[in-house]
Chains A and B, each alone.
Chain A
Amino acid sequence: MTIQEQLLAEVGGHRGVGAADRLCQACVSVLDVDAAGISLVFDGTNTGTLGASGAPARMYDELQFTFGEGPCLDSVTQRAPVLVVDLTDRADLRWPAYRPAMLAHDIRGVYAMPIVVAGQYIGALDLFNAHPGSLGTDQLAGALVAAQLAELPFLDLMAGDLQAAITDPDSDAWAELNTLSRAEVSQATGMLVAQLEIQPAAALVRLRAHAYTTGRSATDVARDILDRRLHLEAH
């Protein structure tokens, strides 16, 4: 099984916000790290911890919001992974408050992968290790796959009225993510940004919600928007 398949198997049929916790637990078991969390730094209103492998991970994640600094926040602003091999490294002058707080909890390795939804950097998947050291190639690849999967719980969180659809055990998380990044879906998302004056992630959520409620595919809905056969209203 590929890492991607292993992660998906661990998340199972779980969808919605519950899937975020499962995804973090899957990171711990499949990627062999000590703890994992998913944080959101989207537009100020959705800031916080979306999922965690357990209570310690939730606390590690929340520390960055307490101090307003940390690798997860940096990975969103830098739009790139931030990989900290050892927090005890004195030459590294970043995060004067976050660093000692994490060390007090015996965490020395922190690895943050940005989560991207509709081209917007909206959060990060954070992996924590008690032992210092670099992530292996497979671990890094797996972490990036997990960060991509984290899009789904985010989209679910943004759309409160999708409970019926998102608990469908037959839904295929990976297939849906691939559909949502297709060119016509992105183009239609851009049209919705122009029409509704909203952010692209919110526009994608709107498009996806319409597809769910009408039982159509996201690409079909996107084509109708592009051809101006369908005009979505703001919520």
Chain B
Amino acid sequence: MPLVCFKNVSKAYNGSLILDNITFEVKSGEFVSLVGRSGVGKTTILKMLIKEEPPTKGRIFFDDKDINKFKPRDVTFLRRKIGMVFQDFKLLSNRTAYENVAFAMEVAGYSNQAIKKDAPELLKLVNLEERADNFPHQLSAGERQRVVICRALAQRPELILADEPTGDLDPINTWEIIKLLMKINELGTAIILATHDKEVINTLGKRVISLDKGKIIRDEEEGKYLI
């Protein structure tokens, strides 16, 4: 049973077709990269997966459940199973790194004891234990992205969606984030990475789904960036 399944999904904004009849599956524990030029619909795919956007046509399944049929309450549970990593971080600006991670755990219903035990360990995992009490504006871009990954991990998700996570980072930080995502994947969490960073894709050696003009033009195991 696939973890994620897109069946003939199309998406149009104001009559203009962004995604045209997309079909693909992602298994549990898999690492998949979505590649393509800016505006090709990578982010839209991720947004539809967490029901931030509805598809215009087609069906999307997560854990074999049709998310189009989800009620608002089901959507909150869905989002607790899917960790999101954004290019623009989307951290809560008036909360410290620790509090951002703790917030995600509170949302998922963890006890205070569990939060006090797990949140510092998660921050240690991304080498940010020393920065736990810093607010996002006091952190570098790379550090912020590590907090975001930490927050995504806090809910022990089955899947992490990373939308251009290295878009605002320098090469050193880019590789740190990619290594971190690979490490998380090795521990069993599936990852869908949307990026247009050719070097990253070519080095990863993982499955690559290439998009162009709203369609999947290539879906290869150990793929390369060929657009």
Query: Are A and B interaction partners?
Result: no
